[in-house]
Chain A
Amino acid sequence: MRLQIQHRTTYRYTSPASYSIQLLKLTPRREGTQRALWWRLGTPGRCVEQLDAFGNQSHLLTLEGAHDEVVLSVDGVVETDDAFDGRLPVEQGLSPLVFLTPTPLTGSSSAIEALARRVFDGAAVDETVARRLMQCVTEAVRFSPGTTTVTDSAIDVIARGQGVCQDQTHVAIAACRSAGVPARYVSGYLLSEDANPAMHAWMDLWSQAEGCWLSCDVTQRALAGASLVRLAVGRDYLDACPVRGMRRGGGSEELEVRVAVHEATDTAVESMRSRQIQAGQQ
């Protein structure tokens, strides 16, 4: 499947900021199940690129001199494998054990441990267990847009009983870790005909039985497939989030995010390609 993505993030400040720095994770991961056919990250200042600890392509943006807005724009087409069934190809690099350690956002409570006991019965972690996890988490934490601030921990979320995709994902990760199953956070895009699509979050859990990561879209109660584009993974939201920044000055801030993900038509891909060629000629 080919997915066309347009994503524009605008920060507006009530007074000029003198310095901004943002760590961006807005480039698709290079993984066996997806490839970017064309990708452009537009930023107002200077960017340096670095592969982070989790293999995510990060950009560090620094902006000096008075500015009262920062606009980040992403345009691209990503091709995903139609045969992708949630089982990620084995990669070199980080041991899954690294994703067993709880973080402040994925700590455990008696409610999380109880949920974990309903999911993991000591049997091998496989697709059945993964589906049971998604079922139990979405029952314990009802999807309810607009009920979260980004720093909510899994413990807070399960106590409240509702949240958005990142909340459900954190609870699922916390439950896995409390049961001794490595789990990681995934940030990315989802093909959606929603009127106001947003960025999406899901998780990978480690199946020792299958010897691979099983990617689970908790919110949709489904194993991840070709309609998802993976930008970044990490121990929790903070490792993987698309923008993590600080600034000096600027007063208060208004954030506007627009995301559009469509299935790319051949014409769209062609037009992207010709824009890419033109860009290369300039």
Chain B
Amino acid sequence: MRTNFYNEMYTAEQSVRAHYAAFADWLQSRPAGWLEQKRGEADALFHRLGITFAVYGEEQGTERLIPFDIVPRVLTAAEWATLAQGLEQRVRALNAFIGDVYGAQRILAEGIVPADVILTNAQFRPEMLGVRVPGNTYTHIAGIDIVRAGAGEFYVLEDNLRVPSGVSYMLEDRRMMMRLFPDLFSIYSVAPVEHYPELLLDNLRSVAPAGINDPTVVLLTPGRFNSAYFEHAFLAQQMGIELVEGQDLFVRDDYVYMRTTRGPQRVDVIYRRIDDDFLDPLAFRADSALGVPGLLTAYRAGHVNITNAVGTGIADDKSIYPYVPEMIEFYLSERPILNNVPTWILRRDADRDYVLANLKDLVVKEVHGAGGYGMLIGPASSKAQIEEFRARIIAHPERYIAQPTLALSACPTFVQQGLAPRHIDLRPFVLSGREVRIVPGGLTRVALPEGSLVVNSSQGGGTKDTWVLEA
């Protein structure tokens, strides 16, 4: 068995880790064939509930069932305590960064982040300069992707600050586990997650424009053809708010209204699940039929709040990621609790020299991800591919960053041959408004093909329930 990665359940000596011991005993005492039967039940239930999320994340894909794995991913109370502190710290710093970039630009003046990295970035929205947002909050919902490489070794892989998705899997996976294995929840004291929609609604209400006591909150979806439409409908229903499309809203003067059977109703907070580019055809992409014409004017006038704020993409761009630890020190005067993956910035001479000499061992990523050339995974690439990438880096070093290949941790997962370790990550959802709140855990994604490190559902990824044990 491969042991060059951290197994969440077993030590290198193949003994069960303490927090998985009761689960292992429970599993041992099940009759033969029982797990297969339960997995069949889970599949049937997901089909019946209609949870056929097309895709996880922002990619496009066809509608299908995302495989749900019945072995939970378990985090101890102590592990979570550190993660939660680190997540809150990171999101506070990212939020301060966005406010600064669209405000005084202190971090640019201090030379901590080069001005051109921000000001020439396609994700930088001049429309947001000088705009005051309620509570100075930009990243109301953040999905921070975390991987583990060793015992206490958690790394932030990326920050998703635009329209992070996947939280409905977190909720449905928990429901499924409680339904299939109620006895496990009497053996383990697992921190609840089902209040997430309540926290989310509180959070959205807390960032209404000043003076609005009982705000009207809506969820703006691109519509039923969007891959995450199920999640939009699910969250709106759970929060008891209207699920609207762009055509259900309109602007009069510089206020936003919703068409209702009782006439126009003013809207105060829009939880949008569409990208900036599509929000307002009078301000951004003129061909967008998904947005609300005039919305940006109403937003800039302070008459409606948009969550997440417009322009948060400047903080989760790959070219900005390497600077997050410095942001934490700059804005919070704290040491970062969570690690960044070590990253070489190829616009820097020394970094570039090192990377060009070690391409076969590294992962090279294009910073403006949509670019089409994607990434180079050194250890998995041919000499010719590496040379081709080398030429691209030399031509435009500022377009690339590089990282070491990480040994992602693995968790036992139910596959064809029985239980076998498969690589996983974790996406906790961090809510920021009047305060920062995180439901314990998040969504664990699992790469189902053996040896695969790609957890995206479009490429064979599944999900697991994530347990944070109560101390």
Contact = CB atoms under 8 A, between A and B. Distances in A.
Contacts of B129: 53, 94
Interface stretch (A58-66, A195-203, A249-257): A58-66
B370 to A, nearest CB: 13
Interface in B296-311: 297, 300-301
A64 B294 CA distance: 14
Contacts of B3: none
Interface string A88-105: 000000110110110000
Contacts of A50: 254, 297, 300-301
A70 interface: no
Interface string B264-299: 000000000000000001110010000001100100
B450 to A, nearest CB: 42
B284 to A, nearest CB: 9
Residue in A53, A151, A245 whose Cβ sees the most chain B Cβ within 10 Å: A53
For the residues of A in contact with B, the DSSP-based class is strand
A21 B126 contact: no
B381 to A, nearest CB: 28
Contacts of A98: 119-120, 124, 126
B121 A101 contact: yes
B348 interface: no
Interface stretch (B234-242, B245-253, B455-463): B245-253
Interface in B72-130: 115-116, 119-122, 124-129
Contacts of B127: 52-53
Given A53-B126, A98-B126, A60 B286 contact: no
Contact of A101 (B120, B250, B293): B120
A50 B297 CA distance: 8
Contact of A97 (B120, B125, B253): B120
Nearest to A54: B126
Contacts of B293: 21, 245-246
A136 interface: no
Contacts of A30: none
Nearest to B253: A48
B63 to A, nearest CB: 30
Nearest to B252: A62
Contact of B297 (A48, A95, A245): A48
Contacts of A246: 281-282, 293
Nearest to A100: B120
Given A94-B129, A246-B281, A62 B120 contact: no
A19 interface: yes
A117 interface: no
B30 to A, nearest CB: 58
Contact of A95 (B115, B251, B294): B115
Interface string A136-167: 00000000000000010000000000000000
A60 B119 contact: no
A101 B251 CA distance: 30
Contacts of B128: 53
Nearest to B283: A23
A95 B119 CA distance: 8
A95 B251 CA distance: 31
A95 to B, nearest CB: 5
Nearest to B264: A64
Which of B120, B251, B281, B300 is packed against the most chain A CB atoms within 10 Å? B120
Contact of B126 (A48, A94, A245): A94
A46 B119 contact: no
A258 interface: no
A43 to B, nearest CB: 13
Nearest to A95: B119
A54 B128 CA distance: 11
22 contacts: A21-B251, A21-B293, A23-B282, A48-B301, A50-B254, A50-B300, A53-B125, A54-B126, A62-B251, A95-B115, A97-B115, A97-B116, A97-B119, A98-B124, A98-B126, A101-B120, A101-B124, A238-B286, A244-B286, A245-B282, A246-B281, A246-B293
3 nearest A-B residue pairs (beta carbon) = A97-B119, A246-B293, A53-B126
